[in-house]
Chain A
């Protein structure tokens, strides 16, 4: 009796399909996407820091690039990733130790609201200066 067994890659890739999924799954997927984003950023960051080793002129040219609005926008995106991943991570840590499991949806709401507030304040600061 043969069976249809979807290949592992396809199955594993289902985590980012949030159609028809509930809040918990959205949080899960958001955490994964921000997590991957932050790992990618880490490599970029190390790459940037390595410019320091190449002397003052390459560092200076990088810093002038970093002041551009586009780059500042990326910084805001990075901050969003940090806030979402960090605050949701707090929720996951708490519920993972059986604290506030009943309130996991409310916790997500409150923490993401805090993230949004912090992000807006930070964005204003970043673009305001």
Chain B
């Protein structure tokens, strides 16, 4: 029987109900020292206040529904350990995401976000670029293995889900999202980039690039790079926005447009998709 050290953690939680001004409640709950923030939130709901509302589903960074701000910084509570955000005495502050209307407590209205993702139209599966680490001794680096991986005969190729889990953390972290209500946002533009890489007919490509080039597209980005820094899934939306800009400029100049075109490539400007610090504070 492995012993568990229990902690008494204070949480300062943003509370909101229709018709009342928002306020913070402080709850102290008991959780294991290896617990994640989502476990502490569960403990608040189960043992302190059943009216506490928040979003969650998968508890392992695949659904993207639990995103919020912990001590002011956008994170996924399901992969953020309590001990990584608690200094031992001050309460851990939980706030809803920025740039979305708050429905109640930590629940925000993400309909505008999903409208943008629908507009981008990226399918969430892709033929698999290598996701396995290059070697056992260096699990942080993924890429082409030294000997090629064989694909089962029954399949033409491996496939997997896109990195993006539509958690909207980048949309919360982005300062432009606060000023332009129709901005496609880092997630929307990153999705356009991926959709464009996967697009195989010219009219789809033209449509996607048109969205990117539009009034609420790539040119609204003012290089804060908060999106890439905050993303827990190494999507690197800033890099993708800049790559789209490069293609748009190249097309405008009609100079080697095909060479500069965004063909499938594995260059990624953020920290490698591999062991990351919890909560995505890479890059």
- Which A residues are closer than 8 A to B by beta carbons? 1-5, 8, 11-12, 14-15, 19-25, 27-28, 31, 91-92, 95-98, 101-102, 104
A104 touching B99 by the CB < 8 A rule?
no
Which 9 A/B pairs are nearest by Cβ-Cβ distance?
A: A24-B225, A98-B246, A3-B101, A20-B72, A4-B102, A98-B242, A2-B18, A28-B224, A11-B178
Q: Which residues of A contact B178 (CB under 8 A)?
A: 11-12, 14-15
Report Cα–Cα, A11/B181, bound state, in Å.
Answer: 11
A104 touching B16 by the CB < 8 A rule?
no
Q: Interface majority SS on A: helix, strand, loop or mixed?
A: helix
Question: Nearest residue in B to A32 (C-beta to C-beta)?
Answer: B222
Question: Nearest residue in B to A12 (C-beta to C-beta)?
Answer: B179
Task: With a 10 A CB-CB cut-off, give which of B102, B109, B269 has the most chain A CB atoms.
Answer: B269
- Please count the residue pairs between chain A and chain B whose beta carbons lie under 8 angstroms apart in the complex: 81
A104 touching B102 by the CB < 8 A rule?
no
B175 touching A15 by the CB < 8 A rule?
yes
- Which B residues are closer than 8 A to A by beta carbons? 16, 18-19, 22, 71-73, 98-99, 101-103, 109, 175, 178-179, 181, 221-226, 228-229, 238-239, 242-243, 245-246, 249, 269
Report Cα–Cα, A41/B14, bound state, in Å.
Answer: 41
Contact among A23, A91, A92, A98 with B243 in the assembled complex (CB-CB below 8 Å) = A98
Shortest beta-carbon distance, B120 to chain A, in Å? 19
Task: With a 10 A CB-CB cut-off, give which of A1, A23, A98 has the most chain B CB atoms.
Answer: A98
Q: Which residues of A contact B175 (CB under 8 A)?
A: 14-15, 25, 28
Q: Which residues of B contact A2 (CB under 8 A)?
A: 18-19
Question: Nearest residue in B to A15 (C-beta to C-beta)?
Answer: B175
Shortest beta-carbon distance, A95 to chain B, in Å? 6
Report Cα–Cα, A20/B98, bound state, in Å.
Answer: 14
Shortest beta-carbon distance, B175 to chain A, in Å? 5
Question: Nearest residue in A to B236 (C-beta to C-beta)?
Answer: A101
Report Cα–Cα, A128/B16, bound state, in Å.
Answer: 59
Shortest beta-carbon distance, A55 to chain B, in Å? 44
A3 touching B103 by the CB < 8 A rule?
yes
Q: Which residues of B contact A98 (CB under 8 A)?
A: 242-243, 245-246
Shortest beta-carbon distance, A14 to chain B, in Å? 5
Question: Nearest residue in B to A31 (C-beta to C-beta)?
Answer: B222
A96 touching B223 by the CB < 8 A rule?
yes
A22 touching B229 by the CB < 8 A rule?
yes
Contact among B98, B226, B246 with A24 in the assembled complex (CB-CB below 8 Å) = B226
A4 touching B225 by the CB < 8 A rule?
no
B179 touching A3 by the CB < 8 A rule?
no
Question: Nearest residue in A to B222 (C-beta to C-beta)?
Answer: A28
Shortest beta-carbon distance, B248 to chain A, in Å? 10
Report Cα–Cα, A16/B99, bound state, in Å.
Answer: 15
A101 touching B179 by the CB < 8 A rule?
no
Shortest beta-carbon distance, A90 to chain B, in Å? 12
Question: Nearest residue in A to B102 (C-beta to C-beta)?
Answer: A4
